[in-house]
């Protein structure tokens, strides 16, 4: 009888142990039940109040111009306009070397990051999915947002040319 009672508990412990081994060290996930925008820093970084706690979030999979870079103010305004007063679904999946959390924001099931790319205010990341790349190509062909310029400077290149100074 005691052997039969311990089987479900053992199976549960094995499942938890297996998940701990499969998930990479330092990876974690968090979702906000209630998210409120505190500040939009630039086109891909914002501070939220997530279930009452402050959270600086960088949107996963995209790279938008830095605030002081050409197009940076417009990218920030585009992000602010997308999320202003709307109910946000936030999923945090990782953190970066600056302590920011990285994740996704959805509004009515639509990813905010993909909307920014489609409007031409962000580039897809190096490992982005085909959905992001097709939106970027469509924005480029239609000369939307940053693509109004013949050869817009990607933010990673701008950061190389303008290293952060303290």
Six-digit token pair at 74?
Answer: 């417009």
Residue 144 is a catalytic residue: no
Chosen CATH of 30-161 out of 2.40.30.10, 2.40.50.90, 3.90.550.10, 3.30.420.40: 2.40.50.90
Q: Could you tell me the pLDDT band of residue 165, with boundaries at 50, 70 and 90?
A: low
Residue 33's pLDDT is 75
How does pLDDT run across 107-153, given as a tens digit for each residue?
999 999 999 999 999 999 888 889 999 999 999 999 999 999 989 99
Residue 100 is a catalytic residue: yes
Residue 149's pLDDT is 93
Residue 52 predicted with pLDDT over 80: yes
Point out the catalytic residue in the list 100, 101, 111, 135.
Answer: 100
Residues 67-96, mean pLDDT to the nearest whole number: 93
> Kind of pairing, strands 53-59 and 101-107?
parallel
Write down the domain spans for the chain: 30-161
Point out the catalytic residue in the list 9, 34, 39, 58.
Answer: 58
How does pLDDT run across 1-46, given as a tens digit for each residue?
445 554 443 333 322 333 333 333 334 457 887 788 999 999 999 9
Taking each continuous run of H as one helix and of E as one strand, the counts in the chain are: 5, 9
3-state DSSP assignment of residue 46: strand
Residue 34 is a catalytic residue: no
At residue 123, φ and ψ (nearest 5 deg) are -100, 150
Residue 13's pLDDT is 30
Residue 141's pLDDT is 97
Higher pLDDT, residue 7 or 94: 94
Point out the catalytic residue in the list 9, 34, 36, 66.
Answer: 66
């Amino acid at each position: 009888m005691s052997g039969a009672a311990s089987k479900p508990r053992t199976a549960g412990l094995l499942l938890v142990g297996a998940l701990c081994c499969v998930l990479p060290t330092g990876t974690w996930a968090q979702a906000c039940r209630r998210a409120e925008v505190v500040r939009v820093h630039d086109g891909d970084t914002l501070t939220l109040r997530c279930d009452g706690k402050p959270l600086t979030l960088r949107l996963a999979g995209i790279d938008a111009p830095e605030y002081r870079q050409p197009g940076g103010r417009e990218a920030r305004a585009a992000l602010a306009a997308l999320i202003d007063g709307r109910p946000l679904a936030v999923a945090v999946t990782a953190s970066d070397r600056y302590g920011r959390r990285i994740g996704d924001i959805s509004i009515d099931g639509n990813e905010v990051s993909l909307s920014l790319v489609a409007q031409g205010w962000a580039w897809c990341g190096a490992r982005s999915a085909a959905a992001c790349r097709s939106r970027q190509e469509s924005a480029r062909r239609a000369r939307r947002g940053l693509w109004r310029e013949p050869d817009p400077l990607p933010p990673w290149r701008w950061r190389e040319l303008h290293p952060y100074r303290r």
